[in-house]
Structure 1
């Protein structure tokens, strides 16, 4: 694919900013009247193809330009529970919508049925956006959906989104990798904790890295205990951020020893991200962190 020229990129950015300004005004146009202009048919959403699109953390302004364009052009959108209302508002009213959300502990639509739905829509000649919260490649079961599409010989395109870890760190005003705190960054699913498995706590209990646990709100106590028993000090910093980047964002900052009790006294909603590492100390000095309601305990 040929590179986009600088003028075209600027035109896209200007058009996107105008679209957001209209969307935020009290006299905003309906979604179907909004459009990102294309030149020479570039980037048209193709029938018979599925686009696995990251919806980001819920803030519509954090969507990529490509994601916005595809949402406006697609014939059908298959979306998850974690897709924000502001993002869904960008879908034109005439577009077919299929909700396949999964809640914790309850799969409203089995994964194989989601795959079959996407295949059926694409085989009808429709252009399909599979809209997934965050980034589809980060704990989004994208591999299973790609396998289902490949088995039916349906072409697929992946459009990345801003994952929850990046959104939470930005909103709290901290770097996930700071030269003085972390030389490594690890994304960890708490699935093993929920299935009574045993994560390799010894390999996770390092002071030179930042750990980010996804889908672990119900296992905060087990995570704190496992890391402490593996060698991290009781005072090691931990941060919980729920609904990162959204108006309903909430957070707790404390230590491995204090966090279970803090969470019991200040329950957070799902989805919630867990960040462990000395970079969390920077919340106390970050201008962005100070602007957010943070329940802070003593840090190192």
Structure 2
């Protein structure tokens, strides 16, 4: 961020609105809340630029991800323009991290009015309710999806090995090495538990026993793709996996530990961003 500061404040460089969107986004994904607020204030105070809805969405995202909801809501209430879907989605994302049920409901209701066809809102709200054990509300939210004829896209992951693309879906049995993949995942589960991994079953959207929840999580499409890549590539080879949806909390933690026990660099590109895992650590530091 020191480099960003030099670029923003350089006398030879005139930052524009887009410059600050990039800087604020970088602060958000790095967890630099106070630094992000400092840059937000610079937009008007030092550079004489007006705030755009994108700037407000970034700073609301910054605050809500760190759990500072009162400040985020205060900005939302004082907006000189109507909040858009990105701002409400930022609040909802923060509620998912910190389990703020009341604000999550209000943010979701606002998003339902703006884009009732977006499955991501329903799924995120269901995840928040599931984490809190509110299964009746999960069921009602799922029923609302059916009423509005909203269909969630199935999670799909793919990896490229020797110029050939291999695609994986949860429950898909078309890969000829599927049994080997499942056996490897079971082995990895044992190894990573010894390293401290604990499955994050809070977000599984079924009121079932923990053992079944853990099994559901381990067979998510990105885990299948990673296990396959481990099987068919030489030890030490970096692994790259792409996913059409956002990586869930448990898979994020699972891949972190897998990168350590197999001594591989694993890069996952989901619908949100790139995640780089290596030797049990990851690039985003839980701000993703």
TM-score (norm 1): 0.30
Question: Where is the helix percentage greater, Structure 1 or Structure 2?
Answer: 2
Greater strand content: 1
Q: Could you state the TM-score of these two structures normalised by the residue count of structure 2?
A: 0.31
Which protein, 1 or 2, shows the higher relative CO under an 8 Å CA cutoff with sep ≥ 6? 1
